[in-house]
Structure formats: structure tokens, C-alpha cells
Structure 1
């Protein structure tokens, strides 16, 4: 049982739809419908897996495949992120960053974009960052096909990043504990402080984590709220720099400000927002993880 649980927490692949051939361009309504369908099916599949119902899990996987799998889902996501639809979440990050000061520093900062769908978003085209793009199912030669939870840890401080982007990634991790482990793992890839990145002014909001979640994960979850998110992130040594609630999304920027608050962390699931219409999104963390 322990081995099975470790494997589930290790990989993100169980939370993503299977891969089939790419889909053609679709309308805004069609892309929104497809994305919502994938989210609901993924949730049902995770529930079936948790119950050990292999037949139901296989049936739901087949239903996801019939919708076009991961490639089709990503096509829908790219439609939502296209510039003419204003869906590029990295534009919000650029609005929050002191671009003038960053340009004056004359140094590209290193950015890791997890779950990358395009190498042509606002941050990639800004000239401010030395970008590394990764995704489970790369749709572009410039995107490395890689699971963040299996990415080798940097061996030196210079190999670490000034900023990590987790835009609509955390909500795809199938287990609450896996989401906590992902947030914890970001610390391994971020520099300890701005001074460890030569040429970077110390007053800039780096090293940092850019986090984007569906708004419902924050505003309509039975076990999770903005306050709970802030409580967890503070425990991890982050401090909130900026936050924004849009119609569909919740954006936040967190600066790594201090070491872990404790060598032992237990962030548990508890009801904080009761109601029959609430969803069950939650993030939990037990560190060190049980053997």
C-alpha cells in the first residue's frame, strides 16, 4: 500500500487526460465546454481510483479519450490562452513585476514555467527571462516533455530559478497530498534569496512563485480558502506579494522570504467553508512524508 501511494504522489500523469491526436481549432464555447468536461471526468476518475474501482476508472478514461484526450484538452487551453481572447495568464504576472527596474538591472532572470502550453506568451516574449518550459505532453519543440515531480533537483545555486510559474497546474494534481508536495518541491528549485542571483537588485520580488488556480478552488471549496492558502504558503516560507480574483481564475505571487517555519509540517484537511454546493478541492501536506 505504501509503495502504491508513493508512486501516486510522484507523478502528475494520473491527473491529466490521456494523449491522442491533436484537435483542430474550436470556438470559445466549444473550448470552454471541453475544458469543463475534462475537469469533471478527471475528478470522477480520481474518486474511482481512490476507491479502487478499476472498472469505473477504465470507463472514465475511455470517456476522456473519446473527447480527444490530452492533446484535445491542450488545444482548448491554447484557445483560451490566445492573445486575442485575453487568456494569457502570464500577462498578469508582468503587470505585477517592476519591469523597468528589471530592465535596468540588465540581467535575464531564470524562470521555470511548469505546464507550459506555449513559448510565445507574454513572459516568454518580454526579454526579461531566461525561460525553461516543461509540460507532461509537449506541444512545441521549445517545451521540454517532463514531469515537474520527476525533474532532477538542481545541484548548484546557479542552476536554480528566480521564479517558477504554476499556472493552472496545481489543480491537476490528483491527490490533495500531492498538491502539497508540489508546493513544497518548488523550494528545491528556487534560489534562497535575491543576493544569490548575481546582478539582481535585492528589493525585487524574487525568488518567487506565480500561482494560478481556478477561482472556485479558493472561493467555493469546502476545505480550502484564500486564508488557508496563505497559512500553508507562510509555513513554507513564502509571503504574499500580489493577489487577484478574476471572473474564472485566482492569481497570486509569492516571494520566498524565509526558511521553512518548521522541520515538521502537518497541514490537514478540515472543513472551513461548509455548504452542499461546495467543491472538494483541498491541499494537504505532511512533511517529512510518512515512510
Structure 2
């Protein structure tokens, strides 16, 4: 029945079927970006916008990703123990230079081609930090103390502001240092062999100064897509042991690897990697596999196993078959980190030139 006595009401309703009166159409409120998302986007855009435009870097996101994958494929072949031919190694090095070299790879990462390089992996870590309340127990004793307010002349009570200690994080291989820029409660120290921002310190992980007291130590050391880029198999293992030196007794180590390093390697699997971590003084707290990456958050063991059991882990086949990769982590306790591994490629290249 029409909502009015007008004889034309029924005709009006028929002429506009399903149409609501204007006053019933409520405008949907616009979604606002959270302060964290906005600050993270701003921090990353500042670095990208300030970086000089390199003509060798594709403007298209898909082409950037393809470029990065090409670099990954070359690095994988260079690190393979089966690569013994100086000529073949020289071809790979030439191909890497043709693509623009390491600098071009890092520039492409900064410009957003490799989302997993920091951006996506940092989000997973931040979620675990919040879930596990990492770093909050440091302030537990201070928070238990009774806090008294200051009473003003008019009787108003003014409560003192309690300053929380920021969570301290050492980000190794940070490139431009934007991964944790959007989280003001995280105090990040960023290091990289080839930094792309002034606040990123130029250091090899093994040369970065070791803290002497708990005030200088970190809650978390992040090795996101770092171990797989280390050419020395022994140094990969040394990284797991060396990380202990920078952490508080209850500190955490965060590791991100390409998923095929564990699912398609001849020498490494999830179970074997977990055993290696246990042997080097770590308890697995959280782990997660995405379509392309594997994420591991581990914490330091307590007591006698704090720095590992001293076991040697050699290259041992865990799965056979064609099409496997050769990624492996070797543990040699009591030995020093290998030096000059990055320059070994130049030696192979010169050897190939002499043979020609």
C-alpha cells in the first residue's frame, strides 16, 4: 500500500523500481590509513624518491621482479659446489655485470621490485613481537613500582609519564633500512655491505662491534634473506653462532630464507634446519611457510646449551633426485669466519682469462 494518500503515489513507485529516496542513501565513510601504514609508506617513499633514477632499473613492477629473480638464479649457480669450470664461472659473472651488478639488484629491491626483501618479512616479525609481547618483560620490574601523582594547588592530580624502553633490533642486510621505519616503538640499527641510505651503517655482520653490556645489546637480530646470499657455506653456520653475541639472554633471532632452500635442497630440510638451530643454541618459537619464503623466529637457549653443543654439521644428502638445489649450511665450531670469499669470484675470472 502506498505511504501517502495521493492517487499518483502508486504510479511514481512503478516508474522508479528499486530506487531509494535521496535521504535514505547514506554516504559511506572513507577508509583512513592507519598511522603505522602511513608512516611506513612515507619512510619507504622518501628513500625511493631521493634515490637517483637508474636507467638500468625497469619502471614496471613485474620487470623489476624478473630482474631480481635473474640475479637470484646467477647467485645460486655461483654458490653451487658443482661449479668448477673457470670459464663457466666467468660467463656467470659477465652475465651478472650485464644485468647491472649488485648495485642494480639493490636499487631494484629499494624501488619495490622485491616485496619480500624487508617489507613483507618485517610485517610477519612485527606480528610475532606483538603476539609474544617481546621486549615488554624488560620493563616488568619498573612497572611494578608504585607510582605517585603530583597534586597541584587546585587539587588536580598529575600522573608522571612512564617512558617505555624501545625494543632494540639489529637488521642485517638492510639495504635502505626501511623495513621497520613505520614502527616508532622499535629502535632499529641497520647495517649492510652496500648501504642505500645515510642511516644504514656500512658493515660486514662479522665486523660489526659486539656490545659490551646489556644496555647496548639487542632484543632481536634479523637475518632476512641474508644467509642464502652468503657464498661461504661455513660462514652461513657462523652467522647462527655469531648472532648470540649481540643479544640479551632472552633475545631472539629472526631468519628468512627462500622456501626452496628447505623444500628442494639436497642437503637441507625443515627437520635438519631445526636440528642445526637446536645444535647452535636456539629454540624454535614460531615458524611459517608462505608461497615463496620460510620464516623462523628462534630464541636463545638457557643454561649450558646457550651457545650450542659444539657438534659439527657437514654436507649430508637428505633427499635425492634431479632438479634439486645445493643449498646447505655447514657448522664448524671453533673455527674463524672465512674472509675474502666475495673476492674469490675475481680469482676464478682471472684464472679463466689466463687460460684463454
State TM-score, norm by structure 2: 0.65
Counterparts in 2 of 1:59 and 1:274: CA distance versus 1, 3 Å: closer
- The 8 Å contact of residues 301 and 307 in structure 2, kept in 1 or not, is answered as no
Which of the residues 260, 275, 288 maps onto 2:307?
260
SS of residue matched to 2:79: helix
Measured in 1, the distance between the counterparts of 2:275 and 2:61 equals 36
| Residue 170 (structure 2) aligns with | 112
| 1:171 CA displacement | 0.2
Q: Structure 1 regions of 5+ residues with no counterpart?
A: 1-20, 194-206
CA separation of 1:119/1:99 partners in 2, compared to 1, >3 Å: closer, same or farther?
Answer: farther
* 1:33 matched residue in structure 2: 66
The count of corresponding residues between Structure 1 and Structure 2 is 254
Which segments of 5 or more consecutive residues in structure 2 lack a partner in the other structure?
A: 1-52, 140-163, 338-356
Report matched runs for 1:1-291 at 5 Å.
22=54, 23-24=56-57, 26-47=59-80, 51=84, 53-78=85-110, 79-81=112-114, 87-98=119-130, 101=133, 105=139, 106-121=164-179, 123-193=180-250, 207-258=251-302, 259-262=306-309, 264-289=310-335
Report deviation, 1:139.
0.7
Structure 1 153/50 Cα, relative in aligned 2: closer, same or farther at 3 Å?
A: farther
Distance 1:208 1:86, change over 3 A: closer
Rate the CA distance shift 1:257–1:47 in 2: closer, same or farther, 3 A.
closer
* Residue aligning to 1:197: none
Q: Does the aligned pair in 1 maintain the 2:65–2:114 contact within 8 Å?
A: no
Partners of 2:118 and 2:224 within 8 A in 1 = no
Q: 1:100 to 1:235 in 2, by over 3 A?
A: closer
Partner Cα separation in structure 1 for residue 193 and residue 101 of structure 2: 13
Deviations 1:184-228 (A, max 9, x none): 1111111223xxxxxxxxxxxxx1011100010011111101111
**Structure (1 or 2) with the larger CA radius of gyration:** 2
Between the aligned partners of 2:81 and 2:319, the Cα distance in structure 1 is 25
Once superposed, what is the RMSD of the aligned Cα atoms?
A: 2.8
